[in-house]
Amino acid sequence: MSLEEKVGQLFVMHVYGHTATDPDPEDVDTNLRELGVRDAAELIARYRLGGVIYFGWAHNTHSPHQIAALSRGIQEAAAKALPSGVPVLISVDQEHGAVARVGAPATLLPGAMALGASGSHEHAREAARIAGAELHALGIRQDHAPDADVNIDPANPVIGVRSFGADPEAVAGFVAAQVEGYRSAGIATAAKHFPGHGDTTDDSHTELPHIHHTREEWDRFDAPPFRAAIAAGVDSVMTAHIVVPALDPSGDPATLSYPIVTGILREELGYDGVVATDSLAMRGVRTKYGDDRVAVLALKAGVDQLLNPPRPQVAWDAVLRAVREGELTEERIEESVLRVLRVKARVGLLPEDGSAPNMAAEVDSVVGSPAHRAAADRIADATTTLLENPGSLLPLSPDTHRDVLVVGADPRSPSGTTGPPTTVLADALTGLGFTATALSTGTAPDATAVDKAVAAARGTGAVIVTTYNVATHTATARDNTQAANTALDKGPATEDTPAAEDGQIALVAALKATGVPVITLAVRNPYDVARLPAVDAALAAYCWTDVALRAAARVIAGRAAPRGRLPVPVRRADDPARVLYPIGHGLTY
């Protein structure tokens, strides 16, 4: 390879459009404005690109056959444009749960915290195997999963349910299981966000968080999942744009820190696989250095892949210049290129006979198959957690509570392909023999919405309220949907930012005052129960996609016993030092 092609292997970029060579005119305009090229083929040719990452907001993921065709087009463009003929490593953030780029009709599975609630490593392994098989059929060979963060802070605005839980050893077990599952499907994995993003109230998409763990606390809380991922054969470790003074007192984010990336990850933990940055477009990595220096400093720290630099030409030129001027050696670049190529070889992109990889030969038989969907439902049945049921209202019976009103939050589906949640839940209950009606009141219902819900509730047998991130740390609810669902600091918000946190609290209180039995269902973070008035039953679903809501409906109706157990503690809202419900709490019947 030429120096330019070696450098190109280290860049992973997004590109707008549903095809590699003929995107819609609006996508051409956006590509020209942001990337200086018209389409994926030109992007690969200009930067000798080693990787492409797909996003829904970049219009890459409309349907399975379209995604497979885009993958084929990208590989054909690489074969023509790259003298070495090395295929592109196509990746995606498909964590499932709160972060999913590829939606229905592909199978959507429970996310990390839901799997943590199931307590089953086998469920986690099977979910990863299914997810990996479907990505493989679409020509995608790397998933930026699993999340190895330990969600210690309930107010964490960016991790939350993306984590398997708050117990480091439990999280480690689930991380290892998912690495094994993805690898069995021929998919490269990426444990994230090293050295651990779970104990912060700041979001690295918009600011530079500081983690104040001591070195001993880091060893105890943050390190175990990454050690487990490495032992399981993880292909890549993604860095976090966070400052951890106990690990590096310089004030540099971990992505740019030689003591953290090389000193701890490589030398202490013995990891010699690919290290990738989180998106270089995120504010957390851009607060101290310019975009040209960020790319160079990341490589000097020991990183191998530069993900989504916001000004690719600036970053590309800066890396080439650093090599030509001696700040980086070509041997250092080659170390990273070899790590990237090893991953490509392991996932079948470098066949010994030189033949092109078989893209999407099994789309129809694999993606969203009946067997996969049935497995997703079976796994989801083990995740719903019953937190409160003081009067044994649940399970509901159509004989005694036939008419049910479902009200509350309707956050947009992570992939944009399911929901709205209140409608999905009402339809599922109707299918189980109830007469269920849906009424969306949003994440910040005003007085008018509350009054409408109260009027609709009168005369019904029971009311189910879907709640979404009732704030636990400020007087204003923070909508972290955009951060978690765009995860690379791009794309539109998925819903309006909520106003005062007491909208959802007021809704539950007003419905409770009607005398109609009230059930709450937390469709994201399970901490909501600590902020809400006492109700007749409270559950946690950990996600608002259809598979989670159908499982919750089966639990409510008694068609499935609640088997989920809290993988995080729920602390009292009025006294956070006291635990309301500990890890492992969960009722059943």
Terminal-to-terminal C-alpha distance of the chain: 64
Cis peptide before 395 (omega within 30 of 0): yes
Burial label, 184 (beta-carbon count in 10 A; 0-12, 13-18, 19+): middle
SS3 call for 94: strand
Q: CA of 8: how far to CAs of 3, 73, 277, 285, in Å?
A: 8, 19, 15, 21
Give the C-alpha separation, 181 to 286, whole Å. Answer: 35
- What 429-435 contacts at long range (C-beta under 8 Å, 24+ apart), as own/partner pairs, is 429/404, 429/553, 429/556, 429/557, 431/553, 432/398, 432/553, 432/554, 432/557, 432/559, 433/398, 433/402, 433/557, 434/396, 434/398, 434/401, 434/402, 434/403, 434/404, 434/557, 435/402, 435/403, 435/404
Contact 456, 514 (CB under 8 A): no
Instruction: Specify the residue for token string 């409270």.
Output: 538
Q: If we measure between CA atoms, which residue out of 474, 466, 526 comes closest to residue 166?
A: 526
Amino acid at 551: A
Q: What is the DSSP letter of 450?
A: H
Dihedral angle, C-alpha 224, 225, 230, 232, nearest 10 ° = 110
Q: Which two tokens stand for residue 381?
A: 């049945």
Q: If we measure between CA atoms, which residue out of 505, 423, 427 comes closest to residue 468?
A: 505
Contact 93, 489 (CB under 8 A): no
Give the C-alpha separation, 457 to 451, whole Å. Answer: 10
Give the C-alpha separation, 242 to 206, whole Å. Answer: 11
Active site residues: 205, 278
Contact 546, 561 (CB under 8 A): no
